[in-house]
A and B are shown apart, each in its own frame.
Chain A
Amino acid sequence: MSDASFLSLEKLTLAYGDTVAVKDLDLSIRKGELVAFLGPSGCGKTTTMRSIAGLLTPASGRISLDGVDITRVSANKRSVGLVFQSYALFPHLSVFENVAFGLRLKKMPANDIETRVTAGLKSVGLSKFAARKPAELSGGQQQRVALARSMVMEPKVLLLDEPLSNLDARLRLEMRTELQRVQKETGVTMIFVTHDQGEALSLADRIVVMLNGAIEQIGTPEDIYNRPVSRFVADFVGFENIFAVEGGKLKAANGPISLSESLPPDTAGLAWRPRMVTLGSGPFQGTVRGASFSGSTREYLLDTPLGAIKAEEDAGLAAHQPGTELTFDLPVAKAARLERFG
């Protein structure tokens, strides 16, 4: 095992009966890494997690953890923790006993259990609630119990399925920092699922963008945000002006458009965020269709021979009224270069 593949999935295919949910997935995760699975609903994030945890047997492929092939190892012997989106706390047990559950199964001496559970509850700020039942806690507190319950087991990998999705905005932010802190403190390898690109970008060391049961792109938050490789990823992270490129020319609504700069031959498309569009100068002409004000910026929708273009300008600049003709530019130097346009 090299350090770069502490957890590795090889050609993993996962199916429910005849429905293939994940196909030929390859992924290597380093020890201590914090990885986010990002993607639209139904793309296979939960399915992949469940297979890592051992709750779903792969149709084919291999999973190895810490140098051991665990593809056929049963879920209770993997040292993989999973925090469920629904928390899945045991309703009949107190918070303390919930956290102690796994340690008791390990037949750990009572004193050690006491010490570990107390420390675990302290680290998630729930020492005062040890005697309560899960039903007497708020959603955020239940979530933290679930986190502590998995953490005290000291798993090799901790999986979190949409850990923050049921929380309100403020608690979400709090929990984000909390997760990051716990992860840095313990150095546990962590994978979390999210729909929310902001969450993925701010938390993860690396982001895995998934679509239709396959990986679209793997990269650091900077890679994903600035250098999406496919139309889907570009669209997902907010590039709103996306064009295919064919034979070095931009494929626009009314025919190909030559570009001032030459592009590498494998370029399949170019994409610009609204704020990358230069307004007031450039080779293209458009008519302002609509404008919206969002505090610090103004966003314009332009009708152009290229198709609809979204542009953004500082709100400090004078507003362009709907109906105005504007020149604009799509600077190739700023664009994200897409390798795939499927």
Chain B
Amino acid sequence: MTPRIFSPLVLFLVVAFLIGPFFIIVAASLSAGETLAFPPQGFSLKWVAKVFTVESFRESFAVSMFLAIGGTAMALVLGIPASYALSRYKLPFGETIRTIVSLPIIVPGIIVGLALLRYIVVPFGFNITLALLLAHTALVLPYAVRVVSASLNNLRSDIEEAAVLLGSSRAGAFFRVVMPNIRSGILAAFILGFVTSFNQVPVSLFLSGPGVRTLPIDMLSYMEITYDPSVAALSALLAFMSIGIVFLAERFLGFSRYV
């Protein structure tokens, strides 16, 4: 048995470790000084304001948004039918397929990025944006399959048969009674995929090329040249965006059920 006093202490340390960096970043971004530092020197909102004036941030934000929304949407278009097939039919090698689909979670992003670059992008002369989009689709796919499968498994399959006996076709039954009932699972998968894609570094690192960069990569290269608190300000803004999204998702969907 752990002595009682330890539990609050451990809890405090865990929370401090998890949330501490976030407070440091927020504090640093409100600094009035010229360099990224903690504790901050003075208080000002000028670095927060500067974030919105940096041209490359605006461009890479747009790229990241495009990848997060487009990649996740594509992952869902592929992932929903895949999850459906995996959960409703006894497929030969079903388990194997499930494992392969989950690989991007297990294999380090560095390896995925390198492999994509070396064996697909370079030899076939892929457009960088397209390569990034495909990579993000592949990265998000496992989450999409996992989350959508979870809500499909909670849905009895006999409602589809009931719909068919009431005159619906098989495909009609899928759209009329399956989709509406896994809607919140799909939305949850979308949010999880969006956040995953948006924060993705290693794969994007390999595939980002001249003119096309995701926001995290752009932040890295910005920091190499300019060591001012605007990166902290941007990080804080992004963190608030993620928190906002997850909060809304939890509030309206009970997001934590699916993850």
Q: How far is the CA of A76 from the CA of B167 in the complex (A)?
A: 4
Who on chain B is nearest to A146 by CB?
B162
Interface centre among B159, B162, B183 (most CB of A within 10 A): B162
Residues 146-165 of chain B: 1 if any A CB is under 8 Å from the residue's CB, otherwise 0?
Answer: 00000000011011011111
Whether B54 is near chain A, meaning CB under 8 Å from some CB there, is no
Interface centre among A101, A149, A150 (most CB of B within 10 A): A101
Interface 9-mer from A31-39, A65-73, A78-86, A303-311 = A78-86
Question: Which chain A residues border B164 with CB–CB below 8 Å?
Answer: 55, 75-76
State the total of A-B contacts with C-beta under 8 angstroms. Answer: 61
Across the interface, B158 reaches (CB within 8 A) one of A80, A81, A88, A153, namely: A88
Contact A89 B168 (CB under 8 A): no
Contact A53 B165 (CB under 8 A): yes
Whether A236 is near chain B, meaning CB under 8 Å from some CB there, is no
Interface residues of B in 34-84 (CB under 8 A from A): none
Whether B181 is near chain A, meaning CB under 8 Å from some CB there, is yes
Across the interface, B162 reaches (CB within 8 A) one of A54, A90, A105, A106, namely: A90
Contact A90 B168 (CB under 8 A): no
Whether A102 is near chain B, meaning CB under 8 Å from some CB there, is yes
Task: Report the interface size for chain A: residues with CB under 8 A from the other chain.
Answer: 24
Across the interface, A84 reaches (CB within 8 A) one of B158, B167, B169, namely: B158
A121 to B: closest C-beta gap in Å: 16
Across the interface, B166 reaches (CB within 8 A) one of A55, A91, A105, namely: A105
Contact B161 A153 (CB under 8 A): no
A22 to B: closest C-beta gap in Å: 19
Whether B180 is near chain A, meaning CB under 8 Å from some CB there, is yes
Contact B166 A88 (CB under 8 A): no
Whether B114 is near chain A, meaning CB under 8 Å from some CB there, is no
Whether B116 is near chain A, meaning CB under 8 Å from some CB there, is no
A163 to B: closest C-beta gap in Å: 14
Do A86 and B165 contact each other (CB < 8 Å), given the known contacts A91-B181, A92-B180, A92-B181? Answer: no
Whether B134 is near chain A, meaning CB under 8 Å from some CB there, is no
Q: How far is the CA of A53 from the CA of B180 in the complex (A)?
A: 25
Q: How far is the CA of A102 from the CA of B172 in the complex (A)?
A: 12
Contact A105 B167 (CB under 8 A): yes
Whether B24 is near chain A, meaning CB under 8 Å from some CB there, is no
A257 to B: closest C-beta gap in Å: 53
Question: Which chain B residues border A81 with CB–CB below 8 Å?
Answer: 165
A133 to B: closest C-beta gap in Å: 12
Whether B177 is near chain A, meaning CB under 8 Å from some CB there, is yes
Residues 84-123 of chain A: 1 if any B CB is under 8 Å from the residue's CB, otherwise 0?
Answer: 1010111110000000011001100000000000000000
Contact A90 B177 (CB under 8 A): yes
Contact B169 A86 (CB under 8 A): no
Task: Report the interface size for chain B: residues with CB under 8 A from the other chain.
Answer: 19
Question: Which chain B residues border A89 with CB–CB below 8 Å?
Answer: 159, 162
Q: How far is the CA of A158 from the CA of B127 in the complex (A)?
A: 59
Q: How far is the CA of A149 from the CA of B177 in the complex (A)?
A: 15
Interface residues of A in 28-55 (CB under 8 A from B): 53-55
Question: Which chain A residues border B167 with CB–CB below 8 Å?
Answer: 76-77, 102, 105-106, 153
Question: Which chain A residues border B183 with CB–CB below 8 Å?
Answer: 92
Question: Which chain B residues border A153 with CB–CB below 8 Å?
Answer: 166-167
B142 to A: closest C-beta gap in Å: 27
A116 to B: closest C-beta gap in Å: 13
Contact A102 B166 (CB under 8 A): yes
Question: Which chain B residues border A84 with CB–CB below 8 Å?
Answer: 158, 161-162
Do A101 and B163 contact each other (CB < 8 Å), given the known contacts A76-B168, A91-B181? Answer: yes
Interface residues of A in 125-156 (CB under 8 A from B): 149-150, 153
B158 to A: closest C-beta gap in Å: 4
Question: Which chain B residues border A149 with CB–CB below 8 Å?
Answer: 162, 166
Do A101 and B165 contact each other (CB < 8 Å), given the known contacts A84-B158, A86-B158, A90-B177? Answer: no
Q: How far is the CA of A80 from the CA of B162 in the complex (A)?
A: 11
Q: How far is the CA of A78 from the CA of B167 in the complex (A)?
A: 9
Residues 206-233 of chain A: 1 if any B CB is under 8 Å from the residue's CB, otherwise 0?
Answer: 0000000000000000000000000000
Do A76 and B181 contact each other (CB < 8 Å), given the known contacts A86-B156, A88-B156, A88-B158? Answer: no
Interface centre among B158, B167, B180 (most CB of A within 10 A): B167
Question: Which chain B residues border A88 with CB–CB below 8 Å?
Answer: 156, 158-159, 161-162
Extra pairs beyond A75-B165, A82-B161, A153-B166 (7, CB < 8 Å)? A81-B165, A86-B156, A88-B159, A89-B162, A91-B181, A92-B181, A105-B172
- Contact surface of B with A, Cβ cutoff 8 Å: 155-156, 158-159, 161-169, 172, 176-177, 180-181, 183
- Contact surface of A with B, Cβ cutoff 8 Å: 53-55, 75-78, 80-82, 84, 86, 88-92, 101-102, 105-106, 149-150, 153
Considering the complex of A and B, which 9 residue pairs feature the smallest CB-CB distances, nearest first? A102-B166, A88-B162, A88-B158, A105-B167, A92-B180, A88-B159, A75-B164, A76-B164, A76-B167
